[in-house]
Amino acid sequence: MATVCGFVERIKYRNEENGYTVLSLTDEGEEYTLVGNFHYISEGEMVEATGPMTEHPVYGEQMTVETYEIKAPEDTAAMERYLGSGAVKGIGAALAARIVRRFKADTFRIMEEEPERLSEVKGISEKMAMAISEQVEEKKEMRQAMMFLQEYGISMSLAVKIYQEYGPRLYTVIKENPYQLADDIAGVGFKMADEIAKRVGIFTDSDFRIKSGVLYTLLQATGNGHTYLPETDLLSQASELLRVETESIEKHLMDMQIDKRLVIRESEGVRVVYASQYYYMEMGVARMLHDLNIRGREPEEKIRKKLLQIQKEESIELDEKQVQAVVEAVNSGLLIITGGPGTGKTTTINTIIRYFESEEMEILLAAPTGRAAKRMTEATGYEARTIHRLLEISGMPGDERSIGMHFERNEENPLDADAVIIDETSMVDIHLMQSLLKAVNPGTRLILVGDVNQLPSVGPGNVLKDVIEAGCFNVVMLTRIFRQASQSDIVVNAHKINAGESVPLGKKSNDFLFIKRDDPNMIINAMITLVQKKLPGYVGADPYDIQIMTPMRKGALGVERLNTILQEYLNPPDKSKLEKESGGVTFRVGDKVMQIKNNYNIEWEVRNKYGIPVDKGTGIYNGDIGIIREINLFAELVTVEFDEGRMVEYSFKQMEELELAYAITIHKSQGSEYPAVVIPIFSGPKMLMTRNLIYTAVTRARACVCLVGVPEVFQAMVDNEMEQRRYSGLRERICEIYDTVPQD
């Protein structure tokens, strides 16, 4: 650890957003390069900094600053140097020399206490004197605020956000109600505010603390898919978090409802509590669905006649349910089409598209993920986009909550289309559905397609299921397995799994295989053989396109352990392959990786064979899979190639957005399709080993499913109907608008 003290000669680089700065500093004639988060630091200022000295491969020796302090200039030479550096607007080197020559060591006291006297210096008017004084005072205030906040363990970058939000009021906020930070400032949660409150000396049973803890508990619940919690659950969870009795919490709920921070309702005879934004989000979605649900007046006979002509031209044959879906699509403002694999959802969508095209209607297609949109494009021959792209996402860097997103398409700038078709709707959460509906005008047809038996969305809500169960909209459920699909054991067995029926695992099959192994290491060895040797030739695919999917992240057959082992076999260390360690994981050139959070602003480009960009865009989304093509240790960049040749450069700091993807969780596979999938089947927590989880996994395979493990565990999963209960009230909100009773 080293310490340097000197003048800031030059700011070489500064990121205004987070304060990351590279600067050169002179200490007794020696020049040093310092890197770190410096906010409101100017050239000419005197800084004492501490941190380790490191050797950068390009820029040489530099200090990574851990702590620093800005020191007031102590002698006249230092004062002149600081004022002449440009740190104070309007003062150059010559004027700085005149000011210091006039006031000598008293210069800074004069600026702070008797600023009008600056006009005694030639070239400074009274107005200018006051402007200079204000700048000096503002910088002093900022520094005092930074020092005050750091006493409470607040990082410099967060301290700047707090100062920008509150200004001089921050002292009152910190000392009286630091929990306000969690409401007002992105990046501050309850736990951080609670830590600050503890240092300030705020009592455990403080009203502010309890109210903030209640909201935090509800926000945490959204991470598990809930939009509300039963009051008893909320009280017990908040009590555990806050370490106070439930009675102390209960008495605040009514006040929070009066303050419009909570909404308390009754559902099925039980009191339930919403964070108010989620209640109004559900209300808004229900209202917009109602407004879209307009009946058309086209005679059914005319539609069916035209449909027969399309079937003849396209050489397709629809069953009665599919015909009904097309008729409803023509005559409904809102239609939901649901069904399992092989029931003709794609054929139905294609026929609807052909019908709308014949009417010269403008059609837009979208899906929740890039992979699902790509599949939709391939299946329909019509361009499909992610819902985020369809709505023209506007950058909100670092904000993962859909609640903070901004879409250019909304009620004021709706989608320009006669019909919007959304596939894989089971993946759409309440946030995204609200944003989509805002951009669809009544009169535009909205068709939602999905398999209601798939896993629900990762985000809060249970949108597709709630919309269907409300019983207020046109729903066409496709159930017939078509002849071609019925020859596939993947399709047949998926329907058996969904119905809870026994699957014959010993049967000879071309596309549904079960390999018995009863030890985790033997299961892993079998999976490696399948991915490396057996399946690529069998399904005509690259080993990297064959996906291992597992129910768990942790454990002997969890994602983390599997990826470490699989990497050694599928992409072993090689002198020709550069590596970079990040977050305890070694990434090397050739690794299969997945983006694990939405990044709406990251840039990508598609290059031709000469390396020249031919297409550009922004946005890589949670679940997108790619290959590391290059690691540049000097520029500190990792280049990843995603679908359709999209090349993305990640700085080493951004590598936390990536993880190895030789194995992924079944949840992460939603909306994707692979030539072959390999699934380890071994005992695990009952709440994870469920029917809809194995159903989702099996239906991700296009040509072959390989299950490796214990047959009894597989059957136990098929028998396990337990779905983690999702507290979602959209169904009730819809029924309230229609004044009906929800269907069971």
Mention every residue, 6+ apart, whose C-beta is less than 8 A from residue 172. Answer: none
Residues 395-408: b if buried by 16+ CB within 10 A, e if exposed: ebeeeeebbebebe
Question: Residue 564, annotated ligand binder?
Answer: no
Residue with tokens 């030479």: 77
Distance of CA 571 to the CA centre of its chain: 28
User: How many angstroms separate the CA atoms of 23 and 32, rounded?
Assistant: 8
CB 558 within 8 A of CB 550: yes
Q: Which two tokens stand for residue 82?
A: 């600081």
User: At a CB cut-off of 8 Å and minimum separation 6, what does 519 contact?
Assistant: none
Distance, CA of 157 to CA of 163 (rounded, Å)? 10
Q: Contact 653/646 with Cβ under 8 angstroms?
A: no
| CB-based contact 603:617 (threshold 8 Å) | yes
Q: What is the Cα–Cα distance from 23 to 11, expressed in whole angstroms?
A: 4
Residue pair 43/82 in contact by the 8 Å Cβ criterion: no
Angle subtended by helix axes 320-331 and 300-314, to nearest 10:
120
The residue among 48, 117, 118 whose CA lies nearest residue 83 is: 118
Q: What's the Cα-to-Cα distance from 300 to each of 19, 88, 356, 442, 472, rounded to whole Å?
A: 64, 77, 15, 22, 21
Q: What is the DSSP string of 470-535?
A: T--SEEEEE-PPPHHHHT-HHHHHHHHHHHT----TTS--SSEEEEE--SHHHHHHHHHHIIIIIH
How many CB atoms lie under 10 A from the CB of residue 436? 26
Extract the tokens encoding 716: 């136990």
534 in a known ligand binding site = no
Residue ranges in 151-206 assigned as alpha helix (H) = 156-166, 170-176, 180-184, 190-200
Output phi, psi for 309, to 5 deg. Answer: -65, -45
CA distance 361 to 157: 51
What residue type is 734 in one-letter code?
A: I
496 is in an annotated binding site: no
Eight-class DSSP state of 559: H
690 is in an annotated binding site: no
Q: How far apart are CA 596 and CA 654, in angstroms?
A: 11
Contact (Cβ atoms closer than 8 angstroms) between residue 10 and residue 43: yes
CB atoms within 10 A of CB 719: 12
The two tokens of residue 658 are: 């990536």
User: Is 586 annotated as a binding-site member?
Assistant: no
Annotated binding site: 342-346
Annotated binding site for ATP: 342-346
